[in-house]
A and B are shown apart, each in its own frame.
Chain A
């Protein structure tokens, strides 16, 4: 990896992800072009290198309150996952929770992946990530794959899932334009939190309470176009995709096949302001199409959202609002299994995150970042009591050398209305090695 590449990694890992995109007219001075239209998404390519192997290892240590779930003792309502927020006790950047064990109570597939640690303090190997990238010198093409190994305790033994999170080719047909066509399995185009999916990029450890709706990868085709407006130190971008499952995480909607035969459309219109003193990115996103956890084309899901990222004087602000509606459909299938009913569902929520990177470097310490996030989520299944929850997250991040990150954070989950109060706060930490 070259010095330029290492610099880029340091930038993206420092929380400075809101920095400027390069003007099209001065590509030689630009930040490395992101693979997936995002800054900091993967290590950048070298002009002369056609094949790279990158990746990271995310080792965690976490302890959740209670039994590691959001299920309340004494609650016998069926399904168990409709009246609580099962995603609240997250322990890693993937959104895996400490546990989803309902002790035999019926659940209907509104569940995240589980780390299987319950309420025990435990070390975790959250992710072993291997990225392969090939850039031929003879074509404006880039091929990328991201394969992840996910060792988990299932309750009845250990199991390592091999997950192809991304695999796509990207064509940039015009040298003079920021115009790219991608096909394969790629990141979401909705909002901004997908940019932080990977543990080696995310400022903190855990995703927000609305990440489940916006950060999922899926298979399809994507078009990205950005035009620079130099006079205004600005750019406007459009990122649209047609995929099997839209932007829901794979635990909620399987991305690897269309269950309805009709693609889900999604897109984001973005504006960027890139000045020396302030960088800002604003966006509006939308998604519509059949819900891909069932087979009826008439069962639609729609979502829209707004996002903002501002970086000024070492302070980084990320904020996002998401509005999701799903219609009732047929029998439900998620990546976790089959369930009898896909109920009508609605959610509104968002988060506000502030991070401050202290500008000093001592020995191996390259950067110290303190961060906090507030999440709020209001959601309901048809016929069930709407639940309102929120979460305060506070954490600290150390960037050591150029390839090691240590993060620790505390999640204070609160049930504000509709859901029974349950002890489901989490302490979690993450040690990320990148190469």
Chain B
């Protein structure tokens, strides 16, 4: 009997449909937040709890999310989230130029000296991405900056084109652009004949395959702990940003203009930490949040260690101490608790605060890619603002 004949009886069963690909831009995050939603993505995408909306946008402001990179505290913001996209592609960003000086393009600017790129694709297309390949095109000096406002005009105009580098430039709601954090440069460009607003995080933040236009991924690690019932929970602690492709135990990223240039396109990996690992969490509020999740918490700390080591808050140590149960460990002294990557002290903390530390100390089977990728350009490294390469 055919399937169609069985439908009326509800007897037809199908294999589970593959999860649909979803892209959330900041337009979507704003809209979701307005409905009272609190997260996006979730367990179906391999990430328990999903991503908190208030860790992406707070009002109109991008939320500076803490992360550890090469053992140092840094911050990034999140501008796009993809679920079930095996890959994300670069798209063309057309930039009018009036000439070239020593190989440097002279951008067409308006009366205030501001450039206005023309984007090839924008939200809400599922193929939009903030990873643009710059395509310079030559226009006569004096061309009005609002004369060419669509990719079709660029192509139909037969302007000489010159391929440029990659640039991370999310198209964002106007209010988000206006509330730009320190670092990216807000601007206005064109899409399909109309204005759009963007944040320019600059060059050098991603690579791509020149044949397929697929953007390269870098891992970013989210830690999971098991509660008393054995369920995986995702505590609200800093992530760890990788330095290179998964499995490479990479330990550094390129330095450009005096700053390390971390990737802006990441795939989220979950890391299930061993049951003996603990978060350095002296703050009572954080302890309460962890206890609410049902994950093990260290509640007693030496006040001196806490006072002397504010930078280790939120890190996971594989060899912690827990005085409440009489367990000695690395949280006991300043020297052992220090996070320095070359800490010579015997018994020092083995923190999971870099890609190398994660991959060197965690069973590979406990490190799993999720179906979620994100645009997370850095805005701060240690105490330094990540100034875009423009």
Contacts and interface: CB of A to CB of B under 8 A. Distances in A.
Interface of A: 72, 74-79, 82-83, 104-106, 108, 220-221, 242, 258, 260-263, 294-297, 299, 328-331, 340-341, 343, 381-385, 417-421
24 contacts: A75-B92, A75-B151, A76-B91, A76-B92, A77-B91, A77-B151, A78-B90, A79-B89, A79-B127, A220-B4, A261-B12, A330-B19, A330-B20, A331-B20, A341-B126, A341-B127, A343-B126, A383-B125, A383-B128, A384-B121, A384-B127, A420-B151, A420-B152, A421-B156
A381 B89 CA distance: 17
Tell me the interface secondary structure of chain B in the complex. Answer: loop
Contacts of B92: 75-77
B103 interface: no
A299 B124 CA distance: 17
Contacts of B86: 340
Contacts of B19: 330
Given A76-B120, A328-B126, A331-B18, A420 B156 contact: yes
A288 B1 CA distance: 24
B212 A104 contact: yes
Given A331-B20, A383-B122, A383-B127, A78 B91 contact: yes
Contacts of A76: 91-92, 120, 133, 135, 213
A232 to B, nearest CB: 37
B231 to A, nearest CB: 28
B83 to A, nearest CB: 12
Given A106-B89, A260-B14, A295-B17, A242 B4 contact: yes
A420 to B, nearest CB: 4
B3 A258 contact: yes
B206 to A, nearest CB: 15
A177 to B, nearest CB: 24
Interface residues of B, number: 41
Nearest to A383: B125
Contacts of A299: 20
Given A242-B4, A331-B18, A385-B192, A77 B121 contact: yes
B28 to A, nearest CB: 12
B121 A383 contact: yes
Contacts of A242: 4
Contact of B211 (A104, A261, A421): A104
Given A72-B155, A74-B155, A106-B89, A331 B21 contact: yes
The 7 residue pairs across chains A and B that have the minimum distance between CB atoms: A383-B125, A295-B17, A420-B155, A261-B14, A330-B20, A76-B92, A78-B89
A263 B89 contact: no
Contacts of A79: 89, 127
Most buried by A among B85, B122, B126, B135: B126
Nearest to B93: A76
Contacts of A297: 17
Interface in B117-159: 120-128, 133, 135, 150-152, 155-156
B208 to A, nearest CB: 11
A151 B367 CA distance: 49
Contacts of B155: 72, 74-75, 420-421
Given A330-B18, A331-B21, 20 more contacts: A75-B92, A75-B155, A76-B213, A78-B213, A104-B211, A106-B212, A106-B213, A260-B17, A261-B3, A261-B7, A296-B17, A340-B21, A343-B125, A343-B126, A382-B124, A383-B121, A383-B123, A383-B124, A383-B127, A385-B151
B87 interface: yes
Interface string B8-37: 000011100111110000000000000000
